[in-house]
Chain A
């Protein structure tokens, strides 16, 4: 399961790179058309191709990286689309910011290689950082951001090497793809390293779904803001339960007195879970595993 997930994430990274490349190709045509049209107000938007390209890379990567968890857990398509839209906006903003900084470094007479590396590293840091910061209850914030930054640094390094040896293929396609790959691979590797527990859905619509516990804290419920979404079950609340790790033990906690959470068919408020426990939330049955 872990290795499949790593593979899944790295595939997403490859796709993100390809997506960024396709966007850049189309973005140039847009750029061309707009500058030919000569609309005066748009001058500021296209003020610099370096930053513009950065924004497009950020858009492509951010779109897929933000949606990676929802894609893996097979959430509803509407939910994934909203995540992707959000990721696209955030990613392009981060791209603008990071590559803008890199550009400023260039104007301060710092070598272009160094400034490009910095831009990539910052992009890795911020794309992961925004995801994790917005899901503020994840609990493992800094290690993830740092792993994203390392991924960005490695990606930028690969990119520069390919540029150096003139191996960047059709218009930097390989460089972009490999940079996206390394960012998401690093994130996936870190998240899988900390995963040692999982929940499996036993019955109903989502039967066979496995939720990997790769954070310190999770929310479980019906609503779309949760980490684990139980869709298609009766009597599951919007925010039904919290799951958190503490001292190498995993606890489940009922969020509200009106809800019912059963562990091994006994109603509980808060309890440490053991291997093989059966959790009942509404009409959904889950089993707890240690991998």
Chain B
């Protein structure tokens, strides 16, 4: 048994060796064969090499007989193919519509009407029933009781009749300030709120970072309302207004308050509204957030509290006066709506 395997292996090794020799010395072999054939048989064509015995030259497509294109032309065809592939790639690029202003996007599948712009005035959600859609969606009957009120840069959504099945970010809510990329479910419709004026993740950092504390936040365009919380970094005159209902603090660019520090996590803490008061919550167990020198997990905030996130400390204030209009004159209706 063993001797047979050994023999087979030896035969294999010998044939492999022969092939290698034939492959690498195929030019030498004809000369050797010449000598052999001339001396012994003197009959065969001497041009055959070793590889020609294994691979007699056959054609598959016989293109070699008469190529249609010259070398340059064929390369041009190849380049044209690559160009068409690039065109296909480019066509597949998703189209991004950069519309200004706030509006809704209809998220239901097969809908072509992508963007529904919103006017800066008090309005009810009734207009949703009038939009041209490819499918009919069931909406609740009393959408006229759901109002959109302009609020700083964005809208305040209020459901005055609590019976509407209205979900904001997949949660029941009656009164919400809409942020960019909020998902709104109204009956069977799914809407995405887009605010291109203040898109999420495009928070303006202060231009002169060198002498200011490396903390930056949202710069709201509208007037400051009464009751808006303000964070003041320790040892600076900078005021950061928290204009959203939920504000995140951290070192990532996508927070509402960006703290560029090694001791602060990407998303470190959040300050959010609970009823009329504000609450702070630490978001990571292994990071520290302190209020008045005490490490906390979550805690209600009072006016004048000292908050420390990582190694950066803030003073928390709640603004008591409504500041004056800074930019963009508002319409009469908008003013009324803020007071109501």
Contact = CB atoms under 8 A, between A and B. Distances in A.
Asked if A pairs with B, the answer is yes
Interface string A162-181: 00000000111000000000
A115 B154 CA distance: 70
Given A208-B94, A209-B94, A47 B88 contact: no
B61 A22 contact: no
A234 B201 contact: yes
B46 to A, nearest CB: 16
Interface stretch (A10-18, A144-152, A218-226, A243-251): A10-18
Interface string B198-211: 00110000000000
B183 interface: yes
Contact of B171 (A29, A202, A265): A265
Interface string B166-182: 00011100000000010
B107 A202 contact: yes
Interface string A279-291: 0000101010101
Contacts of A28: 63-64, 67
Interface stretch (A49-57, A130-138, A183-191): A49-57
Contact of B71 (A29, A171, A201): A29
Contacts of B67: 25, 28-29, 171
B93 interface: yes
B218 to A, nearest CB: 16
A77 to B, nearest CB: 8
A12 B94 contact: no
Given A22-B78, A285-B181, A47 B92 contact: no
Interface residues of B, number: 54
A44 B23 contact: yes
Interface stretch (B51-59, B136-144, B306-314): B51-59
Main secondary structure of the interface of A (DSSP, over half): helix
Contacts of A238: none
Interface in B45-82: 49, 51, 55-61, 63-64, 66-71, 73-75, 77-78, 81
A107 B71 CA distance: 32
A40 B27 contact: yes
B26 A19 contact: no
A264 interface: yes
A170 B183 CA distance: 58
B253 interface: yes
A24 B107 contact: no
A82 interface: no
B89 interface: yes
Contacts, number: 144
Contacts of A29: 67, 70-71, 74
B88 A201 contact: no
A172 B170 contact: no
A48 B58 contact: yes
Contacts of B49: 43
Given A71-B92, A265-B171, A25 B69 contact: yes
A266 B310 CA distance: 26
B77 A18 contact: yes
B61 A171 contact: yes
24 contacts: A15-B85, A18-B77, A19-B78, A22-B69, A23-B74, A23-B78, A26-B74, A43-B26, A43-B27, A44-B51, A64-B85, A72-B92, A170-B68, A171-B67, A202-B105, A202-B107, A202-B192, A206-B94, A208-B94, A209-B94, A235-B266, A264-B170, A265-B171, A283-B254
Interface of B: 23-24, 26-27, 49, 51, 55-61, 63-64, 66-71, 73-75, 77-78, 81, 84-85, 88-89, 92-96, 105, 107, 109, 169-171, 181, 183, 190, 192, 194, 200-201, 252-254, 266-267
